[in-house]
Amino acid sequence: MRICFIGDSYVTGTGDETCQGWVGRLSAMERQAGHDITPYNLGVRGQTSRDIALRWHAETRPRLEGRHDGGVVLSFGVNDCTSTAHGQSRVPHDEAIATTQRIVQQARQSWPVLMIGPPPVGRPCPDGRTQALSHAMAGICAQLSVPFLPVWEPLLAHPTWCTEIARGDGAHPAGGGYAALARIIHDWPAWRKWMGPLP
Amino acid sequence: MRICFIGDSYVTGTGDETCQGWVGRLSAMERQAGHDITPYNLGVRGQTSRDIALRWHAETRPRLEGRHDGGVVLSFGVNDCTSTAHGQSRVPHDEAIATTQRIVQQARQSWPVLMIGPPPVGRPCPDGRTQALSHAMAGICAQLSVPFLPVWEPLLAHPTWCTEIARGDGAHPAGGGYAALARIIHDWPAWRKWMGPLP
């Protein structure tokens, strides 16, 4: 499969000393298990749902158009929830929901779609907002029959994710955190349906 | 620096069992040496200069616009030189040259630019055409004062590159070939000027 991974700095792998991030680590696991995967990492640092709405289709088209083996994985939301100088969300909750709904709805008209929820950083702000957005995204995806993986709770409980964030730039983990996230997605039944069963 | 690596399947890293390719391996070497680098891998399999001309700017803008630490690395050309069913180049030599010139000229108006020449695959076709295109690209870049790294000769002479291609899909090496290419670029003085001196 050729898969466009569309999102923010967590998709890019900011902070990972190997520059692989979860997309690269997950793809390497699959390729080494004999699954044919071409990952296109379309994460951009700092982007909100608003920014992603403007570019996801133009960037996906030249990579997947006319192919029968394409797929789209969406993952964003933390930047929507971080605070402006006035203490408000960069993107208001209702707008983030409506934009996410539009992106998911349009993407699934052309390609199989999966969505990975936004992760925690280990501080009340933006985590409170992010958790609420993750729940709302799950609802949107359920309505549209798009598999959604909430990673907020498992990453908050994971011994590595928030510890590495606190030791790092305060927003991104290092390689250990990304490896943990890659493993969670690797074992997700909806992802396994794309790649084939575990050996 | 935030760097857009724009090109074809060699930029994507097709065939690399780690899914890193030379972009990921080079970026990991730099990050582990303490250099701050955010790589955006914008390689797309099968693309010619013609395809890249249509998308490079739209994809670079949301990643680098308004930033003072942006850079663009271009690398393509092999797909221009492969044969159509009628035995001709997918993109005629003169068109490939003119398109490359236009891309390089436009890119350097906004960002620092480096260009990496197209690699050999170890067979007369497309290698004869690719070598000629690489030479012409070197000329264009010299005219426009853009550093150009010819990798055709060093990769042809390298013990790993063409051997892995022959053992693989006939066009792409595995991780050893990409590691060799990453090392060649890592030691290139024009690249070191971007990243900082060797430790």
Residues of A in Cβ contact (< 8 Å) with B45: 2, 38
- Write the CATH number of the domain with boundaries A2-195: 3.40.50.1110
**Confidence check: pLDDT of B156 > 80:** yes
Q: Tell me if B38 and A17 make a contact (CB, 8 A cut-off).
A: no
* pTM > 0.95: yes or no: yes
Other CB atoms within 10 Å distance of the CB of residue A157: 10
User: Which residue in A41, A55, A63 is closest to B62 by CB distance?
Assistant: A55
DSSP alpha helix (H) spans, B33-174: 49-64, 78-81, 93-110, 124-143, 152-157, 161-167
Contact B24, A38 (CB under 8 A): no
Q: What is the ipTM of this complex?
A: 0.96
pLDDT tens-digit series, residues A13-38: 999 999 999 999 999 999 999 999 99
pLDDT value of position B199: 67
Contact A136, A93 (CB under 8 A): yes
How many Å apart are CA A24 and CA A6, to the nearest integer? 13
How many Å apart are CA A156 and CA A163, to the nearest integer? 10
Residues of B in Cβ contact (< 8 Å) with A45: 2, 38
Residues of A in Cβ contact (< 8 Å) with B12: 38, 40
Instruction: Please give the average per-residue pLDDT across A95-123, as a whole number.
Output: 98
pLDDT value of position A199: 67
**Confidence check: pLDDT of A109 > 90:** yes
Pairing of strands B2-7, B38-43: parallel
Instruction: Please give the average per-residue pLDDT across B156-176, as a whole number.
Output: 97
Q: In chain B, what is the straight-line distance between the N-terminal and C-terminal CA atoms, in Å?
A: 18
